[in-house]
């Protein structure tokens, strides 16, 4: 294999050299002046370093862009696994803690007709929306048990080096980990002082904020690149009261 590669490179160098000689020969026949040919050769040779710099920078840019796109594809696969295993159910569970959640759910009812404008409007709404969390309205023991069960999976996600390319998703994971630790540290959620309730509310609000925005961006990615996955994700939207996978 190595020998074949050397032969191919040698053949390419010989071919290029032969083509160059032929072209210079044609140039000499047309001009009929070795002086003009030499001047032209030296002029081209003087610009050779500039050519090399330009070509090198262009190739480097193309390679970096291809590498970035490959990393993003792998990262989106990781994000997809996260939502399949944890994120979708967690989004549904935490939405029950949101006070007056009807308007929020309305903005998250993504369907197949959505375009870039709808996604952008929803992301802007989520950034500006100051949601209110009331943790006393739900059973935090169930949430605690679910997150503890999924902690091993979440830890495995942090081992993926591609996450370094996506700070927002990394922030989401850290927010979820912190919520797990806060819930696990408490054996009882009865008779909590108001200051402690407010603290838990803040932790849930942080997770829900990161989670909802990441979910919308992930859905936008599916809409653009994987329509067949987007179709199922729309039908199984965690913001729908009773999602139905059937196609009608």
For 41-77, write each residue's pLDDT tens digit. 666 666 667 767 777 777 777 777 777 767 677 788 8
Residue with tokens 């929020």: 104
Q: Phi, psi (5° rounding) for residue 23?
A: -65, -40
Report pLDDT digits (tens) over 204-231.
999 999 999 999 999 999 999 899 999 9
What lies within 8 Å, CB to CB, of 169 at 6+ separation is: 75, 79, 82, 163, 214
Residue closest to 124 by CA, chosen among 12, 223, 213, 11? 213
Q: Give the mean pLDDT of 115-125.
A: 92
Percent of the chain residues past pLDDT 70, beyond the cut: 79
pLDDT of residue 246: 80
Identify the weakest region by mean pLDDT among 2-16, 101-115, 197-211: 2-16
pLDDT of residue 241: 81
Could you state, in order of their start, the residue ranges of all structural domains in the chain?
Answer: 2-46, 75-235
For all residues of the chain together, what is the average pLDDT? 82
Which tokens is 113 given?
């007709």
Q: What does the alpha-carbon distance between residue 204 and residue 215 come to, in Å, rounded to a whole number?
A: 16
């Amino acid at each position: 294999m190595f020998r074949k590669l050397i032969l191919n490179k040698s053949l390419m160098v010989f071919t290029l050299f032969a083509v160059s000689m032929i072209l210079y020969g044609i140039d000499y026949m047309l001009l009929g002046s070795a002086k003009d040919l030499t001047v032209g050769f030296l002029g081209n040779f003087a610009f050779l370093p500039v050519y090399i710099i330009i070509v090198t920078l262009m190739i480097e840019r193309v390679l970096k862009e291809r590498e970035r796109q490959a990393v993003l594809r792998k990262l989106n696969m990781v994000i997809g696994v996260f939502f399949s295993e944890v994120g979708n159910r967690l989004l549904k569970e935490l939405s029950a803690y949101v006070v007056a959640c009807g308007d929020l759910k309305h903005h998250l009812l993504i369907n197949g007709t959505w375009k870039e404008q709808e996604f952008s409007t929803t992301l802007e709404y989520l950034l500006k929306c100051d949601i209110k969390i009331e943790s006393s309205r739900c059973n935090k023991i169930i949430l605690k048990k679910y997150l503890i069960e999924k902690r091993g999976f979440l830890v495995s996600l942090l081992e993926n080096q591609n996450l370094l390319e996506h700070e927002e998703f990394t922030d989401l994971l850290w927010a979820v980990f912190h919520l797990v630790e806060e819930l696990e540290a408490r054996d009882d959620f009865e008779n909590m002082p108001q200051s402690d309730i407010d603290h838990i509310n803040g932790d849930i609000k942080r997770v829900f904020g990161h989670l909802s925005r990441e979910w919308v961006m992930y859905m936008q990615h599916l809409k653009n690149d994987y329509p067949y996955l987007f179709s199922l994700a729309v039908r199984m939207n965690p913001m729908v009261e009773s999602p139905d996978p059937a196609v009608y």
